[in-house]
Amino acid sequence: MDLRAVTDSVQDQLHTTAALGDENIRRAADLLTVSLEPALRLALQDVIGQVAAEISAQIAPGRVDVTMLGADADIRVTPPPVTPPAPATAPSAPTDEDEQTGGATSRVTFRPPQALKTRLERAAAQEQLSLNTYLVRALTAHLDEPAPTQAPSHGAGRTSGWFL
C-alpha cells in the first residue's frame, strides 16, 4: 500500500486552498507541505499499526503484520489455524466445594470493551440465555477443557519493528 497517494492528496488540497491567497500564503503553503508529508506518513503508520493490533486481537492466534519501507506499507495476514469447533459441553457436575458451600454465587465486576460486550450479548441471545448464564457456561466449559497442546502465539495484539 503506497501512502504517498494519501499524503499527496492532502498536499494538493493545501496548494489548491493556498492558491486563493497572495504570494505569501502560497509560499507558506509550499513550506508547510515539506513538513506535512513526514508528519502525515507517521500518523498513517500509527493508524495502520493500531488497526493491525486490533485485528490481530480479534483473530488470535492469527495475526496481522505491517512492514513499512519508506511510504510503502506491506500488510500480511496470518489467519488462525483451522480447527474443528470443540463439541459443546454442558457445565460440569457440582464439585465437592460447591456442595460444601451450597453452590453459593458470588459477584464479580467485569468491564469488557463495548464491542466485546455487544458480541457476548448477541451470542447469549442466539442461545436464548441471559448474559450472566451465557458467561457462566462459557467460562465453565473453558475451564473444564484440557490445556491446549499448541504453544501460544507471541506478537498477537502487538506492533513492533522499525518504521523507515
Most confident of the ranges 93-102, 110-119, 139-148: 110-119
> Is residue 118 predicted with pLDDT exceeding 60?
yes
Residues 6+ apart with CB under 8 A from 94: 103
Share of the chain above pLDDT 70, in %: 76
CA distance 123 to 131: 9
pTM higher than 0.75: no
The whole-number pLDDT of residue 139 equals: 85
The closest of 77, 3, 2 to 44, measured between CA atoms, is 3
The whole-number pLDDT of residue 68 equals: 79
Over residues 15-61, the pLDDT tens digits come to 899 899 899 998 998 888 888 888 888 888 888 888 888 888 888 88
Over residues 81-98, the pLDDT tens digits come to 877 666 665 555 555 555
